[in-house]
Chains A and B, each alone.
Chain A
């Protein structure tokens, strides 16, 4: 153990020199060491209390105030600063993420082709059997479209940050914000289906709550029977992530592989109607609960999210190209 010998004279001057002559040096050293130990090992009680109280008051402040919480502006300010940093870091990392996919074996690729062919066949059967429902759906769509102008446009965005599962909430950051025309409570989707909704925007980024989050509830509709229900997340990401569909009418039993689409909210916020959510994989009913509970496998692979689109009203001013309802890019 090394002891700082240069400071000793100061210590002696400050009254510590009046000790028995038996080994004052030794005693001196021990004293210095124990002081340092206490100084480093144990934090002052007032600091502990202050920090814990600060945490608790922050939690109370944020959890009781709800949406108009005073923490919200701070959250936004932190987002304004760290959002662009995350966007930059993600841009640097993106080229390297693709590297593992270059080293794929022949057997691996062959296996994937097999899987895709099987899926193709399954989808073809699905399309064939779903013809009747589709026609009916088309009629309804026509009705609603004529009733109100449902011209949706998409703002493309990329996922730049994924919230860790240690936080037990499934949220991502996307690289489009209020500059691109985004506002809270907008629908986010990708090629495969519904991704989630925007909960918070900064100038250049937005936070998206995924539908697999345990707090997420989406109004859903079973495609084949038009039955309504609510789709809730389970808080699990990855290939095992599932959703729970609870139908309002307990007498109706959804079939396996039935498609579930969004029911849609008034004014298209937070969810527009008709976006595919997932397919039914199992149905449970219990005597205790009055409703049927179906397990829905989401179409979207949430572990590999990259390009998403945010549904904005047609004609939204944006700093980037907007995909219009008719497929043209503006």
Chain B
């Protein structure tokens, strides 16, 4: 990944993070907002493969852990998004992803990401929450992420492809 591409990816993550915290909090459902940062990581995985997505997932996760108003143990979102990057990057790369496969990937990644975050919380006893509430949050999260997929993924994936014309043909 050259510096230019890395800068664009980082900028996308920062924009996603700020939007997620300030704008989408007004349209949250039971406090759950679309996880835009996760969507950016998934887009990277679909366009550039697991390696780039995992690195970006780590950086984005650390930002998500440290940026206000986060107050949980740092590193939890980082771990969750590294796993998300791996999962998204392992989707079949030899064909250009169809709309269906993108939506399925987002749903799977959203489920996996929020679950990993919740599981680390259970291990660390960070917030002591019931399984029912956690499952409800995960379900709403998956729904909202899938809902936002048609608006976010094509834009982000298109941008990444334009920066990487050779692989765009694959």
Q: Which residues of A contact B (CB under 8 A)?
A: 1-2, 4, 33, 36-37, 39-44, 47-48, 51-52, 54-63, 69, 71, 74-75, 78-79, 82-83, 85-86, 89-90, 93, 97, 160-173, 199-200, 202, 205-209, 213-215, 235-238, 240, 303
* Interface hit among B86-94, B101-109, B151-159: B86-94
**Chain B residue nearest to A305 in the complex (CB):** B25
Q: Produce 1/0 per residue, B93-125, CB < 8 A to A.
A: 110000000000000000000100110110010
A85–B18 CA distance with the chains assembled, in angstroms:
7
A89–B118 CA distance with the chains assembled, in angstroms:
28
- Of B73, B129, B137, B169, the residue contacting A63 (CB under 8 A) is B73
Whether B71 and A59, one on each chain, are in contact in the complex, defined by CB atoms closer than 8 angstroms, is no
B40 at the interface (CB under 8 A from A): no
A145–B14 CA distance with the chains assembled, in angstroms:
48
Residues of B within 8 Å of A240, CB to CB, are: 30
Q: Produce 1/0 per residue, B44-62, CB < 8 A to A.
A: 0000111100110110011
Residues of A within 8 Å of B137, CB to CB, are: 165-166, 168
Whether B141 and A161, one on each chain, are in contact in the complex, defined by CB atoms closer than 8 angstroms, is no
**Chain A residue nearest to B24 in the complex (CB):** A164
Whether B23 and A40, one on each chain, are in contact in the complex, defined by CB atoms closer than 8 angstroms, is no
Query: Could you tell me the dominant secondary structure of chain B's interface residues?
Result: helix
- Of B70, B72, B73, B133, the residue contacting A236 (CB under 8 A) is B133
A237–B30 CA distance with the chains assembled, in angstroms:
6
Q: What's the count of A-B pairs with C-beta under 8 Å? A: 210
**Chain A residue nearest to B51 in the complex (CB):** A43
B42 at the interface (CB under 8 A from A): no
8 smallest beta-carbon distances between A and B, as pairs: A58-B75, A165-B31, A162-B25, A237-B31, A40-B49, A59-B75, A55-B79, A214-B127
B66 at the interface (CB under 8 A from A): yes
10 contacts between A and B (CB under 8 A): A4-B166, A54-B58, A58-B62, A59-B74, A78-B68, A86-B21, A162-B25, A168-B117, A171-B69, A215-B127
B41 at the interface (CB under 8 A from A): no
Answer whether A172 and B69 are a contact pair too, CB < 8 Å, given A51-B54, A160-B22, A166-B114.
yes
A237–B28 CA distance with the chains assembled, in angstroms:
10
A61–B93 CA distance with the chains assembled, in angstroms:
36
Output the residue of A90, A163, A214 with the most chain B CB within 10 A. A163
Residues of B within 8 Å of A52, CB to CB, are: 79, 82
Whether A235 and B129, one on each chain, are in contact in the complex, defined by CB atoms closer than 8 angstroms, is yes
Output the residue of A42, A74, A161 with the most chain B CB within 10 A. A161
Whether B55 and A93, one on each chain, are in contact in the complex, defined by CB atoms closer than 8 angstroms, is no
Whether A71 and B72, one on each chain, are in contact in the complex, defined by CB atoms closer than 8 angstroms, is no
A206–B71 CA distance with the chains assembled, in angstroms:
11
A170–B30 CA distance with the chains assembled, in angstroms:
12
- Of B17, B68, B82, B118, the residue contacting A205 (CB under 8 A) is B68
A164–B39 CA distance with the chains assembled, in angstroms:
15
Whether A47 and B76, one on each chain, are in contact in the complex, defined by CB atoms closer than 8 angstroms, is no
Residues of A within 8 Å of B49, CB to CB, are: 39-41, 43
Whether A167 and B117, one on each chain, are in contact in the complex, defined by CB atoms closer than 8 angstroms, is yes
Q: In chain B between 126 and 143, which residues have their CB closer than 8 angstroms to a CB of chain A?
A: 126-129, 133-134, 137, 140-141
Whether B78 and A207, one on each chain, are in contact in the complex, defined by CB atoms closer than 8 angstroms, is no
**Chain A residue nearest to B134 in the complex (CB):** A168
A214–B126 CA distance with the chains assembled, in angstroms:
9
Output the residue of B67, B117, B118 with the most chain A CB within 10 A. B67
Whether A166 and B35, one on each chain, are in contact in the complex, defined by CB atoms closer than 8 angstroms, is yes
Residues of A within 8 Å of B86, CB to CB, are: 43, 48
